[in-house]
Structure 1
Amino acid sequence: MTAYLCPGCKTNRSRFNIIEQRPRSIKMDPRTGEVTSEYQEGELDAFHTAYKGPDKKVQCGACGLIEDEKSFAAYAEHNKLS
């Protein structure tokens, strides 16, 4: 784990919500929204791009800002406590 500092409110260093992202690759009916297929990892068809986003995001427990984890970590690194 690494130290965080919220880049939004610039004061919170201790209260955060970790949001773990678990992408689900699906194909759905465009009219009903019903899921017609669910793909397993490595089984996507030629027209389906795999998710390339972060595994987790962080939400500031003070102001509510949601960003990539690296934003909170980088801001803390740039503004270290003495």
Structure 2
Amino acid sequence: MSTPYLCPNCKTNRTRFNIIEQQAKSVKLDPQTGVIIEELEQSSLDPFHITYNGPHYKVQCGVCGLIENELSFIKRAQLKS
């Protein structure tokens, strides 16, 4: 995270960002009510439950509110360097 950012939407913000750390929780829901029946450990997932493999961080622009993958903000800053 020691890389410059530039918002790909407003294209002016280089300093105000919210770093959103994503922590996935695997659960089984009741199909009728949507209530969580069981929280699953990564080691005990059944064959039909895929583990989360998305980004660890998302970034929100503190000026326009855009939320994207961190790489979008990094790439935009590299283009404008």
- TM-score of the pair, normalised by structure 2: 0.94
- Deviation above 2 Å: which 4+ runs of structure 1? none
Q: 1:18-77 deviations in whole A, cap 9, x for unaligned?
A: 000000000000111111111112321011111111001000000000000000011101
- Who is 1:44 aligned against? 45
- Who is 2:17 aligned against? 16
- TM-score of the pair, normalised by structure 1: 0.93
CA distance in structure 2 between the partners assigned to 1:53 and 1:47 by the alignment: 18
CA distance in structure 2 between the partners assigned to 1:42 and 1:55 by the alignment: 19
| Structure 1 runs not aligned, ≥5 long | none
- Who is 1:26 aligned against? 27
CA distance in structure 2 between the partners assigned to 1:9 and 1:16 by the alignment: 12
Aligned residues: 80
Q: CA-atom RMSD, angstroms?
A: 0.8
